[in-house]
Structure 1
């Protein structure tokens, strides 16, 4: 009466699957933090672009040229941040797939270690690509923070 069908996995096997899935779960927490940073940066860039778009029609001469220059950089930054977001979210999806595959493999007693490993490698490659895109965007933002020389000259206001 107490015997369960032999097809159900043992509690110990499930516990091992949970232990195996902890690393990808911690990775997901880190990816979530990175996504939060990327979304915040995107929001700030979009806000700055909207501010400049409002100033653009009312500007002329060197000020107009500076606005156009900054808008071009902001447009490129938006594209790079978007790429970083897509890559990072794709990494998160693959990481979730790794966890799901681990549990399916345990429950169905499948020997698909290669699929799990390849899925995790793909998740890491996507994360690396997302981090590189993030680094590129940070570099672009540092280029955009160009303080005009005339603002740095000593004046009579001090």
Structure 2
């Protein structure tokens, strides 16, 4: 069975291409910059998730009917927190999209060492899409932090 697979032209060609240490090294080198970007995106998302978790917990505590039946005084803060949560969710969605697309870039760059088809334009388009998604996510995150700074001043007695 394995001999049949290896005797096929595609499998043999793939094995010959991947046997080259230089090609593998080149593929790894090409994938390093996007991999570092992926680490950065993950770090940013960690901060975003921490804020979202805090917001969700605060909303639950204020809106909990068992512990004080959502007082009218909390209505303004709840609306503010829900708006912040909306922006935090959008920031996470776009940042996750950036992480997915940059992961595709890494895979494509790694595969480019083994295929003949020029894919530079595809990589460039994916890279620009990644940066666009990341910028959009960061804008939503900025909006959430500005709303937090504005609201905390307004919420103080």
TM (norm. structure 2) is: 0.82
- What is the alpha-carbon root mean square deviation over aligned residues? 2.1
User: Structure 2 CA distance, aligned partners of 1:107 and 1:144?
Assistant: 54
The answer for unaligned runs of 5 or more in structure 1 is 152-158
User: Structure 2 CA distance, aligned partners of 1:128 and 1:58?
Assistant: 36
1:99-125: CA deviation from partner (whole Å, max 9, x where unpaired)? 111122211222110001110110011
Q: By how many angstroms is 1:57 displaced?
A: 2.5
Pairing partner for 2:35 from 16, 25, 34? 25
User: Structure 1 CA distance, aligned partners of 2:143 and 2:155?
Assistant: 23
Aligned pairs for 1:89-104 (under 5 A) are 89-104=96-111
Aligned pairs for 1:110-125 (under 5 A) are 110-125=117-132
Which residue pairs with 1:154 in the alignment? none
Which residue pairs with 1:34 in the alignment? 44
Larger radius of gyration: 1
The answer on whether the counterparts of 1:45 and 1:78 sit within 8 Å (CA) in structure 2 is: yes
1:44-82: CA deviation from partner (whole Å, max 9, x where unpaired)? 0011111111366263xxxx2x41111011111111111
Secondary structure, in 3 states, of the residue corresponding to 1:41? helix
Provide the aligned length of Structure 1 versus Structure 2.
Answer: 142
The 1:35/1:107 distance shift into structure 2, 3 A limit, reads same
Find runs of 4+ consecutive structure 1 residues off by over 4 angstroms: 4-7
